[in-house]
Amino acid sequence: MKSSFFSVLFFSFAILCCSAPFGAEAWLKPKIPISSLITKTLFDSFFLHKDDTACPAKDFYTYHSFILASKSFPAFGTTGCLATRKREIAAFLAQISHETTGGWATAPDGPFAWGLCFKEEISPQSNYCDSTNTQWPCFPAKSYKGRGPIQLSWNYNYGPAGKALGFDGLRNPDIVANNSVIAFKTGLWFWMTEQKPKPSCHDVMVGKYLPTEADIAANRTSGYGLVTNIINGKLECGIPDDARVNDRIGFFQRYTKLFNVDTGPNLDCAYQQPF
């Protein structure tokens, strides 16, 4: 009974938006392609300054690359009603914007207009090699620092991402900062892939997340804040009014407004325990 109750409770997060005007029939209509939900004009309005000369990633993160990469993940932005689909796209773009932001408090057009300014971590503190991970062994002289829109890090992420996407992430991690389609694919791979005990960000945003007893005890409730927990909870969650979390929320609020959808509940992870 408990499992059934929570299934209904968390599934309702996604389907409430479909009650009107779309109705349940919205789930049965043909899928709307990503390109019709986020046009190039809208994409450019999200990322007003990504191609400024001040941004190291100038001209790297193109709209074409994003759309092309999304085709490798057909469930992304096509699951649920129209509002859910838009909200998921907004959530993904907001999270990668925080990871790559070049904004500051008094930046032109505001701090949340500067996503996708960086394509790799500047001055990494290590080579991000977990030598205890024998499944995905590091290669000599290779750095597994943050690269791409999600700032993919560590050998245990580069290895499986490369295997899933068709490149050698352990021997050639630099490709994530040199090929824009692969860069976007790594971000979407991380978004769509469940890494237990963490659910996938996708499942959270479309209402498929079913919390375990441990999740319930840890107050890991469904919403945008749980996505932040999945991405960087050990450093950012369980901390009231954390500036990094607030930055992620700021991007999301701006993007959902441009999409003309609400943000949904539970924006932060201030009172969630990390995974």
What digits encode the pLDDT tens for the residues 136-161?
A: 999 999 999 999 999 999 999 999 99
Q: Which member of 25, 88, 99, 120 is catalytic?
A: 99
Residues 6 or more apart whose Cβ sits within 8 Å of residue 149: 61, 96, 99, 100, 116, 119, 183, 184, 186, 187
In this structure, the answer to whether residues 241 and 207 fall within a common structural domain is yes
Q: By the 8 A CB rule, do 90 and 34 touch?
A: no
Residue 160 lies in a domain: yes
Instruction: Look at 11 and 55; give whichever has higher pLDDT.
Output: 55
Which domain does 42 fall in, by range? 2-117+194-259
Percent of the chain exceeding pLDDT 70 equals 89
| Omega of the bond leading into 74 within 30 degrees of 0 (cis) | no
Read off the pLDDT of residues 212-262 as tens digits, 9 standing for 90 and up. Answer: 999 999 999 999 999 999 999 999 999 999 999 999 999 999 999 999 999
In this structure, the answer to whether residues 9 and 46 fall within a common structural domain is yes
Domains contained in the chain, number: 2
Residue 270 lies in a domain: no
Reply yes or no on whether 99 is catalytic. Answer: yes
The DSSP symbol for 154 reads S
